[in-house]
Chain A
Amino acid sequence: MKIVNWIDARFPLTPFIKHELTEYQTPANLNYWWNFGSLAGFILVLQIVTGLFLAMHYKADTSLAFDSVDYIMREVNFGWLIRYLHSTGASAFFVIIYIHMLRGLYYGSYRKPREMLWWSGIALLLLMMGAAFMGYLLPWGQMSFWGAQVITNLFNTIPFIGPDIVLLLRGDFTVGDATLTRFFALHYLIPFLIVGLVVVHLVTLHWVKSTNPSGYTLQRESDKIPFHPYYTVKDMFGLFVFLAIFTAYVFFDPEFWIAPENYVPANPLQTPSHIVPEWYFLPFYAILRAVPHLTMGVVAMVGAILILAALPYLDRSRFAGGGVNRPFYRLMFIFLVLDLCVLTWVGKQPPEGSMVLIGQLATASYFLFFIALPFVSKWEERWLLARCIPEPVKENLDKPVSLGKR
């Protein structure tokens, strides 16, 4: 206690803990879908720690990289564990983040006043994608090399400066040693940018507070509970359930998340018959290939992510919340999730025959969600107003979901 007092006189330790944990107010009715934010935080730390140990043994050199990964797997003490944690962790990170984002989408967490929270999340997703893409080059397998070759090529489509950007990214006229070293450097940097942005994300969250599944502001005083101990213990429970599933993959089927082709060393002279990105890029890859014109394909692919940022303005309903109180929004959400599954599946297939058409339809459907949202949300609002709606919903018209007075 003496030590704490000493620190408190010099640094706001106790006030900080009070403000952010023991007295930080959270809605009591958050369901288990709200666990994924803290899970993402955990997996970020796991990736940084395992990445640190991998970097101690990894050699960023095209003639040594593949061998050094194998060396880690065979000869380093528990190197296989560190590497499998990292490779499985990358996929788990995306599983968690995609669920986290879909939760935000379903419950309307992106809506006013949480726009900044949503945007910082999208920026985090972009950083994560960059880190994942660069990290995938490091084992220097066939898919690493050809994936990087294909994706860096896409930047060529940027008018005027495209070829210069490609040269800057690769550090050479083709993906080679210069690319590997700079991707390694950036792969080590990005996680720390992510940590910084996560702090921004959390500060924003603690300013606007969590939304809640009911879709409107909670009225009772007892509906607000401090984060600690309630959500710390709930998050811990969620964490161990997640870890049980995660470690089951790490220890029993770690290769599930790794493409077999990547155990063949990179060979610039031999193109694999079928280049596919990692599963988490598949929907976007499908969108890229669905558009017949390459430049427009790149625009569509980038647009597919950036359009998420417009969501707070595309949803024009005066009813707060998301799918819980709004039946048509709920239908649209289900439609979008199914569409993303189709896109993922199409992205995995060679672009032949009916796959092309299915891919184009699914891509059109994806964008249709965002184009239709302003109209559907307004129409749905009128539809709901014309019907008998529960009193709390009516009372909360035009009121964003909040935790009451700040």
Chain B
Amino acid sequence: MKTLLKTTMALVCATGLSTAWAAAPSHVELEKITLDMSQSTLQAGAHIVTENCIQCHSLKYIKYRHFLEIGFTQEEIDEMRGDKDMNDRFGRVMEMSMVKDMFGMVPPDLSLMTKARSGGHNYLYSLLIGYQMDENGNSDNKVFPGIKMPDVVSYSFASTDEERQEIREQVASVSSFLSWAADPHAEKRETIGAYVVAYLIFLSILYYLLKKRIWARVGERQAAEEAHRKQAAAETEAEASKA
């Protein structure tokens, strides 16, 4: 039991280490943020994404109907969707050929973006604010050098700290929204998970106690057999000495 515990601990530590190592495969240190998953932030992010990013990127697994889940009212969604159906998906606004002509490739779909890149939302956040301007006025991205996407959030153009801070907040809300889009059941999953894990730990304890109780008989039987054997040995010895 002890060795098993030790090994389990070692394994848990090892997985912990490997996560830390797997999370940052790109050579640039990613900025770590804690996501704010409140409905107001998600809605702010939704506005930014559906009013800007959607020009070039699709968000094909998200339907208007899904916006009810992050607290938009039916009226707000009706206003957003115009004559589109509640079950319509967010496709890119521009023609595919046009985008392709502009950037040389079709910009990737955003619905699974925070899952599809190692580093997840931290990668997305760091990428969006990763633009830098060189002396010649060309901007490039330190997280993804040679990226085709221009500095859409104008981070490299910002001149004051307040401006940068404001952009960071917007980008953070975009990260929150796209994290929700990639994994809409995350909150529910974790809520249920807490109960499930707690219940299983409780049940493990009960089973441990039950196991101990049932196994006590084995110890008793073994002790009885030992005692019996000792007694028999003593008797034969006594008989032998008598003879």
A interface residues with partner B (beta carbon < 8 Å): 28, 31-33, 70, 73-74, 80-81, 220-223, 225, 229-230, 233-234, 236-237, 240-241, 243-244, 247-248, 250-252, 254-256, 260-261, 263-264
Contact = CB atoms under 8 A, between A and B. Distances in A.
A240 B211 contact: no
A340 to B, nearest CB: 13
B167 to A, nearest CB: 26
B197 A251 contact: yes
A220 B225 contact: yes
Interface in B118-134: 118, 120
B211 A28 contact: no
Contacts of A237: 204, 207-208, 210-211
B200 A240 contact: yes
Interface stretch (B47-55, B93-101, B215-223): B215-223
Interface string B107-124: 010011001111010000
Given A256-B19, A263-B115, A233 B190 contact: no
A236 B218 contact: no
A220 B222 contact: yes
Contacts, number: 90
A261 B116 contact: yes
A263 B118 CA distance: 10
A233 B207 contact: yes
Contact of A263 (B19, B116, B185, B201): B116
A348 to B, nearest CB: 9
Contacts of A80: 185, 189
A250 B116 contact: no
A251 B197 CA distance: 9
B240 interface: no
B61 A260 contact: no
B214 A229 contact: yes
B197 A244 contact: yes
A243 B207 CA distance: 13
B225 A221 contact: yes
Contacts of A255: 115, 120
Interface of B: 1, 4, 15, 19, 61, 108, 111-112, 115-118, 120, 182, 184-185, 189-190, 192-194, 196-197, 200-201, 203-204, 207-208, 210-211, 214-215, 218, 221-222, 224-226
Contact of A248 (B116, B197, B221): B197
Contact of B116 (A240, A251, A264): A264
A32 B190 contact: no
What are the 6 A-B residue pairs with the smallest beta carbon separation, nearest first? A251-B193, A263-B116, A237-B207, A244-B200, A240-B204, A222-B221
10 contacts: A32-B1, A237-B204, A237-B207, A237-B211, A240-B204, A248-B193, A255-B115, A260-B116, A263-B182, A264-B112
B201 A244 contact: yes
B85 to A, nearest CB: 16
B197 A222 contact: no
A221 B201 CA distance: 35
Nearest to B188: A80
Contacts of B211: 233-234, 236-237
Contacts of B15: 256
A101 to B, nearest CB: 15
Contacts of B118: 260
A32 B4 contact: yes
Given A237-B207, A264-B116, A33 B193 contact: no
Contact of A234 (B184, B192, B197, B215): B215
Given A70-B112, A260-B117, 13 more contacts: A31-B4, A80-B185, A81-B189, A222-B225, A229-B214, A230-B218, A233-B207, A236-B207, A251-B194, A255-B120, A256-B15, A260-B118, A264-B112
A240 B225 contact: no
B112 to A, nearest CB: 5
Contacts of B1: 31-32
Contacts of A243: 200
A251 B192 CA distance: 8
Contacts of B189: 80-81, 251, 254
Contacts of A31: 1, 4
Contacts of B210: 233, 237
A33 B196 contact: no
A28 B218 contact: yes
Nearest to A243: B200
Contacts of A221: 225
A264 B116 CA distance: 6
Nearest to A341: B14
Contacts of A230: 214-215, 218
B4 A225 contact: no
Contact of B207 (A73, A240, A248, A251): A240
Contacts of A263: 112, 115-116, 182
